[in-house]
A and B are shown apart, each in its own frame.
Chain A
Amino acid sequence: MDLTLKIWRQPNASSKGKFVTYKIKDISPGSSFLEMMDELNESLVTKGDEPVAFDHDCREGICGTCSMFINGRPHGPDTGVTTCQLHMRKFKDGDTIVIEPWRARAFPVLKDLIVDRTAFDKIVQAGGYVSVNTGGVPDGNAIPIPKVDAELAMDAAACISCGACVAACKNASAMLFVGAFVSKFALLPQGRIEAHERVQKMVAEMDRQGFGNCTNTGACEAECPKLITLENIARLNREFLAAKLGARKGENVRGGGGI
């Protein structure tokens, strides 16, 4: 396949970026998108040019590092995959492909296609855990959990924190990410204990980091490589409301977290 690539180049966070056009030839349809980028970079380096900087690591769709906005869609035209799992057979010979970084105020560009997603870590640090120390915990089977709850929690826990939901959202909202994190704990008895405090802390941090609010357009769900559903945002809202209405601090009203 022969392709034209229009790629966002930006030397660092403080300088302005621009699109640069590259031509690339003889790409195998069986290659992954990132292998295509490798080939481009190999040719740039050989010519003495700086390669396009992009984030990537596991290349099997689980680490959540890769983050390209391809032809106007996070992780490109396929559904339910990350950029590293996207294959060139999804494109046609002669195509022009536009490649940008995630665009969001909370995700500043560091270089070319690399953005800083520390804001997600900050949200987790604010409350995304069960406050147990190592040791002194009960036997694993002492906490029976209905299979359906465990499965729903796992659906939410599948989030890889890539940021596609933020990139897809016109408000650059992180509600799907936070909803998934809140849900996976809210659905389990271990997580219920701190559910109210957790949701309030995580939402407050989400706002502090500069993410926008949700206006229910559903772009996040459509673009999520792990198919995390809007149900998690609904659950986040219920949990948040219940926490706010729960009045007395520490009172643990179940926020309709189940099904």
Chain B
Amino acid sequence: MAELNSKIPQGPLETKWTSYKSQAKLVNPANKRKLDVIVVGTGLAGASAAASLAEMGFKVKAYCYQDSPRRAHSIAAQGGINAAKNYQNDGDSIQRLFYDTIKGGDYRAREANVYRLAEVSNNIIDQCVAQGVPFAREYGGLLDNRSFGGSQVSRTFYARGQTGQQLLLGAYSALSRQIHKGNVEMYTRHEMLDVVIVDGRARGVIVRDLVSGKIERHSAHAVVLATGGYGNVFFLSTNAMGSNVTAIWKAYKKGAYFGNPCFTQIHPTCIPVHGEHQSKLTLMSESLRNDGRIWVPKKLEDAALIREGKKSPLDIKEEDRDYYLERRYPAFGNLVPRDVASRAAKERCDAGFGVGETGRAVYLDFADAINRLGHNVIEARYGNLFQMYEKIVDENPYKVPMMIYPAVHYTMGGLWVDYELMTTVPGLFAAGEANFSDHGANRLGASALMQGLADGYFVLPYTIQNYLADQISVPRISPDLPEFIEAEKQVVDKINRLMNIKGKTTVDTFHRRLGHIMWEQVGMARNEQGLRNAIEEIKVVREEFWKDVKIPGDAFSINMELEKAGRVADFLELGELMAKDALMREESCGGHFREEHQTPDGEALRNDEVFKYVAAWGYKGENTEPDLIKEGLNYEFIEVKQRNYK
């Protein structure tokens, strides 16, 4: 394949999606019943897609590795979901949400996709309200909004600090209704281990029943991967322990191109790392930056005394505090986008101003907001977050400023998809965080929930139908075709290979080593030498893994070490591709910061002449360099500028 066809409809930006919908092919109700769709993953994108497709009449099979579809990691999103409703009368519009998203993504996302996202954002709110999602309300009974990083309007809808949970429960309820009606077959505690291609089209998946260990073949006319992001390649991240790259990585190895793998979001407000046995990082919603002020001591000696426990932040006088975001970015202050806030925190800590035991923390202080608004208002807004913080850190954030530090949170990269969310493999779709599409090089806060639900409720139901309209004469696919048997055999072989290594080192040890390489050299700031080292070091870890990993038990029952080993094996390959992508991209943009490419005052410096494209990588075999195809980004409707939040 030499070119990627993104299939963007012709015409003005505002009418592209409308004209697509009016021209897309439809499938009549009698034929819908004869068409099967597999949806892997039941987070916001997967559950909403499975429910919507089943409501339309397609026969859906849905899979999740959790014990219930309601536990997918979308549930942990705290802050909110954006929509261009302009309920606050503060000048918001679809155009502005579109513009903020493109700009926030540092001009590395497709205009047409992002415009569509902004366009359907309003439908999402309506849909969720109709489902009974208990969004926050004003006293008059109407919906409340809050503001979020990267925008100057209040367009974020929320349900306390549990917005992701409430939206997922909405989608889960819709999915449950379709399960009850028999339109969705739900497979819980099942993990997808390969995609099956028949005559060039995705026709099914191989899954492992995580309870019995049984390997199963499942077929369909189309396959949707809504399997989330791959932040756990860094070992420590805010992702759930089970979040993994396996589904999309298998798709990549079966021919689906992988878009911008190196675009990783480091979230600025997480609870700092405490020790070597730490298993995951906990995020504190970015919404806290609405009322919290971020600072470090102005004097190096104060920072040192705090680190030694000889001074408390409350001892630091106002004039000795450096509110560095307000100082550097007077226009956006504490509400700069995530990548900017994260790098600024790292910069201060690298310069010796960090606090906490490790010096890898900055303060997020609510004293001013509590004085201004009162304890009760702050409690109503953030009560559960404050409680969570106190449980973990054992300090009361109403009295002592919170300590925060950036952590890996989201991956903008993912399977390359066209305007229809189809990968380069016909019949294989990717939705939500699993695709690369809408966030460019950096995602704005409260936009992940928006994209997941946009894809699942309002985009895929149209685009998948356009594909399936050509499949109505294809009878139900048999899972006994030779392609299925062969794919199953490969999965079984790989499991046997893992079980038979019988080495000495635990899976987590390898995962930690990989995570360390990734965080140090493919993390918040990257440079050529570090990336080259990372590629070599990952290879070494990978070789050792396949010689020395230790997995007790057998493959015919619940075996969590085996599950982890399969995921880590894929992370060990993905990590290398991420480093290669980061090495190739000789510019800084959004969350991708190359130390060689920065402005004199340390801001990201893009190179639009050369790198205004999506990098799509194709798998060419185990010891062969992957193929790189560039999808040029044409900005017809907005002017590309250097981002400026000052």
Chain A positions within 8 Å of B, measured between CB atoms, are 11-12, 28, 30-32, 34-35, 38-39, 42, 44-46, 48-51, 53, 55-65, 78, 80-81, 85, 87, 89, 110-111, 114, 116-118, 120-121, 124-126, 128-135, 137-141, 143-147, 150, 153-154, 157-158, 160-161, 184-185, 188, 190-191
Inter-chain contacts of B570 with A (CB < 8 A): none
Closest to B52 in A: A134
Q: Bound state CA distance, A80 and B125, in angstroms?
A: 30
Inter-chain contacts of A78 with B (CB < 8 A): 391
Is there contact, CB below 8 Å, between B68 and A38?
Answer: no
Q: Which among A32, A35, A51, A135 is the interface contact of B561 at CB below 8 angstroms?
A: A51
Inter-chain contacts of B55 with A (CB < 8 A): 133-134
Is there contact, CB below 8 Å, between A129 and B141?
Answer: no
Q: Which among B132, B136, B165 is the interface contact of A190 at CB below 8 angstroms?
A: B132
Q: Bound state CA distance, A111 and B67, in angstroms?
A: 13
Inter-chain contacts of B128 with A (CB < 8 A): 140
Which of A50, A129, A144, A190: most chain B CB closer than 10 A?
A129
If A56-B241, A140-B129 touch, does A85 touch B278 (CB 8 Å cutoff)? no
CB distance from A200 to the nearest CB of B (A): 15
Is there contact, CB below 8 Å, between A45 and B173?
Answer: no
Does B290 sit at the interface, judged by CB under 8 A?
no
A-contacting 9-mer, from B216-224, B332-340, B551-559, B615-623: B551-559
Is there contact, CB below 8 Å, between B558 and A110?
Answer: yes
Does B233 sit at the interface, judged by CB under 8 A?
no
Inter-chain contacts of A190 with B (CB < 8 A): 129-132
Is there contact, CB below 8 Å, between A34 and B279?
Answer: yes
If A63-B71, A132-B131 touch, does A89 touch B394 (CB 8 Å cutoff)? yes
Chain B positions within 8 Å of A, measured between CB atoms, are 48, 51-52, 55, 66-71, 73, 75-76, 85, 87, 123, 125-132, 134-143, 157, 159-160, 162, 164-166, 169, 172-174, 176-177, 179-180, 186, 188, 211, 238, 240-242, 274-275, 277-280, 282-283, 387-388, 391-392, 394, 457-458, 461, 504, 506, 508, 550, 552-553, 557-558, 560-561
Q: Which among A44, A131, A150 is the interface contact of B137 at CB below 8 angstroms?
A: A150
Is there contact, CB below 8 Å, between A114 and B137?
Answer: no
Inter-chain contacts of B561 with A (CB < 8 A): 45, 51
Is there contact, CB below 8 Å, between A191 and B127?
Answer: no
If A65-B71, A129-B174 touch, does A35 touch B279 (CB 8 Å cutoff)? yes
Is there contact, CB below 8 Å, between B71 and A124?
Answer: no
Is there contact, CB below 8 Å, between B126 and A138?
Answer: yes
Which of B52, B73, B134, B458: most chain A CB closer than 10 A?
B134
Which of A38, A49, A59, A60: most chain B CB closer than 10 A?
A60
If A38-B508, A59-B241, A60-B282 touch, does A124 touch B173 (CB 8 Å cutoff)? yes
Inter-chain contacts of A55 with B (CB < 8 A): 67
Inter-chain contacts of B123 with A (CB < 8 A): 135
17 contacts between A and B (CB under 8 A): A12-B557, A31-B275, A32-B392, A60-B280, A63-B73, A78-B391, A85-B392, A111-B557, A116-B67, A117-B68, A129-B176, A129-B177, A130-B130, A131-B177, A137-B130, A140-B126, A190-B130
Q: Which among A59, A126, A161 is the interface contact of B240 at CB below 8 angstroms?
A: A59
Inter-chain contacts of B51 with A (CB < 8 A): 134
Kindly list the 8 A-B residue pairs having the minimum CB-CB distance in the complex, ordered from nearest: A144-B141, A129-B173, A137-B130, A134-B52, A125-B180, A153-B134, A154-B134, A140-B129
Q: Bound state CA distance, A35 and B66, in angstroms?
A: 20
Q: Bound state CA distance, A81 and B282, in angstroms?
A: 15
CB distance from B621 to the nearest CB of A (A): 33
Is there contact, CB below 8 Å, between B388 and A184?
Answer: no
Q: Which among B67, B127, B242 is the interface contact of A117 at CB below 8 angstroms?
A: B67
If A51-B561, A144-B141, A147-B137 touch, does A28 touch B240 (CB 8 Å cutoff)? no
Inter-chain contacts of A121 with B (CB < 8 A): 68-70, 176, 186, 188
If A42-B508, A56-B241, A150-B136 touch, does A161 touch B274 (CB 8 Å cutoff)? no
Q: Bound state CA distance, A157 and B136, in angstroms?
A: 13
If A85-B392, A118-B188, A154-B160 touch, does A63 touch B76 (CB 8 Å cutoff)? yes
Q: Which among A11, A58, A126, A141 is the interface contact of B142 at CB below 8 angstroms?
A: A141
Inter-chain contacts of A38 with B (CB < 8 A): 277, 279, 508
